[in-house]
Amino acid sequence: MFTAEERRNYIGGSDIAAVMGLSRWKTPLKLWLEKIGEVEPDDLSKIEAVQLGTELEEFVAQKFARENKKQVRKQSKMYRHRKYPYMVAHVDRLITNSDELLECKTCGIHKKEEWEGDEIPNEYILQVIWYLGITGRKRGYIAVLIGGQTFKSKPIDFDKELFDTMVEMAKEFWNHVKTKTPPPVSPSDNEVILKMFPTHNEEFVENQEIETKIAQLQKVKSNISVLEEEKEVLELDLKNAISNHIGILTEKYKVTWKAQSTNKVSVEKLKADGIYEKYLDKSSTRVLRITANKKAA
């Protein structure tokens, strides 16, 4: 197991999907902040599912070996790309007497659909291709224990064209790390940006070049407002058509309008009882607002 400090020095298999902007869990900007030491990676070591996954790795490996009549061995060596030593691979298992390797996974039953048929989550495909390219092997297998009840293993053949693309994107990302220049933001980066700039001073930035983007944002927000109004009218039409029934059936759709109970805490009652302030957690955040520049007008 490698420390966060050590992980800052390289791009590994668990990083490559984020480098390429294809990770569901981490954006390139978030990964960049971790690599330059501005934020600490999320501590997953205390999450029970992660702990169990580590403990079950050997079981998954041996289960794969038995089912596929192969021998596997644990490899603690860190492989490095021949030309770019910051590109590395930590392989779960090597398959003996072959040019193959094995990556072991566990997941909850709620992720069963991600493994239906030939499906493999994209992050894991990229991880295995990365390992194959760096180790020089031709085929990888991914073995997964789903919900402690279902075991599957699937082959992934090396794709040189994809690996070359990965290397080029990793080189570009690492240049951002070395120069401490942030990569482009992604749509999921709102929280990351807020962590980067949690507070503000009282100075404005003079930047005429970004005015086009401001105007574009105002146009998008205006279009959203129009679409929201259209959405409200269409929903009202459907509710009126349903009236006191449970819903509507058409050839293509089933629409329901059912009662749904919710639980709400009454702020007014808490204030009346004099305990509102006791349980109030105050926090601050930054809000983006756009108004006309009166001085310019």
Asked whether 73 and 62 are in contact (CB, 8 A), the reply is: no
- The percent of residues in the chain predicted with pLDDT above 70, rounded, is 96
pLDDT in tens, 82-110: 999 999 999 999 999 999 999 999 999 99
CATH class for the region spanning 4-183: alpha beta
Per domain, the residue ranges of the chain are: 4-183, 208-279
CA nearest to 73, candidates 91, 56, 55, 89: 91
The two structure tokens encoding residue 265:
């805490």
Q: What is the pLDDT of residues 145-161, one digit of tens each?
A: 999 889 999 999 999 99
- pLDDT category at 296 given cuts 50, 70, 90 is low
- Please report which helix (H) or strand (E) contains residue 94, including its range: strand 93-95
289 residue type, one letter = R
At 64, phi and psi to the nearest 5?
-60, -45
